Structure 1
Amino acid sequence: MTRSRASARKAGTTFERSIADGLAQALDDDRIDRRVKTGSKDRGDIGGVRVHGQRLVVECKDVAKQALPQWTREAQIEAGNDDALVGVVVAKRRGTTNPLDQWVHMTVRDLVALITGQRQDQS
Structure 2
Amino acid sequence: MTRSRATARKAGTSFETLVANYLATHIDDRIERRTKNGNKDRGDIGGLRHLGQRVVLECKNTIKIALGPWAAEAETERGNDDALAGLIIHKRHGKAKAQDQWVTLTLGELVALINGNRDHYETN
TM-score by shorter chain over 0.5 = yes
State the identity as a percent.
Answer: 57
Find runs of 4+ consecutive structure 1 residues off by over 6 angstroms.
Answer: none
Secondary structure, counterpart of 1:88 in structure 2: strand
Total equivalences in the alignment: 122
Structural mapping, 1:1-123, within 5 Å: 1-27=1-27, 29-119=28-118, 120-122=120-122, 123=124
For 2:63 and 2:100, locate their aligned partners in 1 and report how far apart those are by CA, in whole Å. Answer: 17
For 1:44 and 1:76, locate their aligned partners in 2 and report how far apart those are by CA, in whole Å. Answer: 10
For 1:91 and 1:51, locate their aligned partners in 2 and report how far apart those are by CA, in whole Å. Answer: 20
For 2:114 and 2:94, locate their aligned partners in 1 and report how far apart those are by CA, in whole Å. Answer: 30
Amino acid at match of 2:121: D
Stretches of structure 2 lacking an aligned partner (at least 5 in a row): none
For 1:104 and 1:88, locate their aligned partners in 2 and report how far apart those are by CA, in whole Å. Answer: 7
Q: RMSD of aligned C-alpha atoms?
A: 0.8
Report the TM-score when normalising by structure 1. Answer: 0.96
Tell me the alpha carbon deviations over residues 16-62 of structure 1, each in whole angstroms, 9 at most, x when there is no partner: 000000111111x1110000100000000000000000000000000
Stretches of structure 1 lacking an aligned partner (at least 5 in a row): none
More helix by share: 2
Report the TM-score when normalising by structure 2. Answer: 0.96
